[in-house]
Amino acid sequence: MEVSPRSVSYKKLAVNVAVLLVVFGFGYLVGDSKVSLGTDRIFRQSVQKADAGALEYGGVEELYAKLKEGYDGQLEASKLEDGLKAGLVEAAGDPYTEYLNTEASKEFEEQLSGSFEGIGAELGKENGSIIIISPIEGFPAQKAGVRARDIIVKINDESAYDISITDAVKKIRGPKGTSVKLQIARDGKPLDFEITRDQINLPSVKTEVTPENIGIIKISRFGEDTTQLVQQAAVDFKSKNVKGVVLDMRGNPGGLLDASVGVSSVWLSNGKTILEEKRDGKVVKSFSAKGTPTLLGVPTVVLIDEGSASASEITAGALRDNNAATIIGQKSYGKGSVQEVRTLDDGGVLKVTVARWFTPSGSNIDKEGIEPDQKVEITEADISSSKDPQKQAAIDKLK
């Protein structure tokens, strides 16, 4: 079944967000699964795949007829239609390709804006399990002790195995002041959390200048305003003659692809390759630096961890491969696919994986992640004493 191009709008995701889907409660379009929407609204000409063959709907009609005939209860046509669409998309076998109905698509847009009610955690899916890509610093999940790579076993005493990211988000999100129970598996051990939901207002960029005159840019997600905020920070840092810059993307699940390109361009001269998208092994689009590279040549350290995904990995890979930065921290999440969001006539959306992305050196990090140049871990003792050895290692290197 095809959708008329006139009825479809396209948004480019770098996420895991599915995956960006970021649930905040990834709510995002991530990352996987929080996902990257781009300002480029025109769908590129893509490599055409071989026709998978026309779908036969006779069996569906027969099944529906027998269901109506034999079902003891009331059938709701809208729910059946949503189920049919969701099942069709799920059968593609890709965790980041997903159908969202009208209600879910509105929640999705809300999450991308960085304001919603939930627990503040990005969700992804691996091998049938819902996992925490990253708890967002300062919000309920992180405060409760939830960590990146935790596996969600149960939500409110119901199994979370083999449910979609969207369903997990629906179960976890809720009004401020209410609570949700999560059973988590960490290192093979079960842990129980009861987390009180809150209003999640997530600024995409925070900045500071340390006493050592090191500029720090913390990007929590790649949103519509991220490039502009980073550009403003870069101008401010230059005026203060900072010795170097720390670009902190730890716990950043991703976001808009265009934002990752814009941020990378602050360090890279025009024309430098940031990433390539490939489909069926062929390059379908290349992204290069453009604009004013305010921080070109400024010593820079990028901080990543296992909660850094998608657009974060694009930026980290682009800066390292172009010799613009050193990476410190822990191996990143590993999401090497690109999603686009296509709006449907019924108000729902199709989030579909359209390509794989590759760093300037030709690496695709899907399921592999980016290894730091200098590995620095944060221990339980560090967390308890509010120490940040990764940030300190970056500052020491720049001093």
Q: How many helices (H) and strands (E) does the chain have?
A: 10, 22
Could you say which of 82, 198, 248, 321 is catalytic?
321
- In the set 171, 335, 351, 391, the catalytic residue is 335
| Phi, psi dihedrals of residue 90, rounded to the nearest 5° | -65, -30
Q: Cα dihedral sign for 240, 246, 247, 252?
A: negative
Contact call for residues 315 and 333 (beta carbons, < 8 A):
no
CB 56 within 8 A of CB 135: no
**Contact residues for 228 (Cβ-Cβ < 8 A; gap 6+):** none
Q: How far apart are CA 243 and CA 248, in angstroms?
A: 16
SS3 81: helix
Q: Is 335 a catalytic residue?
A: yes
Give burial (CB, 10 Å; 0-12/13-18/19+) of 313.
buried
Among 46, 39, 45, 33, CA closest to 12: 39
Give the side-chain half-sphere CA count within 13 A for 356. 15
Report the distance separating Cα 270 and Cα 261, nearest Å.
12
Q: Phi/psi at 230 (nearest 5 deg)?
A: -70, -40
Q: Cα(first)–Cα(last) distance of the chain, in Å?
A: 59
Residues in the chain: 399
Asked about 94 being catalytic, the answer comes back as: no
Mark whether 290 is an active-site residue: no
Among residues 30, 225, 203, 21, which one has the least CA distance to residue 114?
203
The first and second tokens of residue 256, run together, are: 């808009």
> Which 8-state DSSP code applies to residue 33?
-
Catalytic residue among 134, 288, 308, 310: 310
Angstrom distance (rounded) from CA 204 to CA 250: 13
Which residues belong to the active site?
310, 321, 335
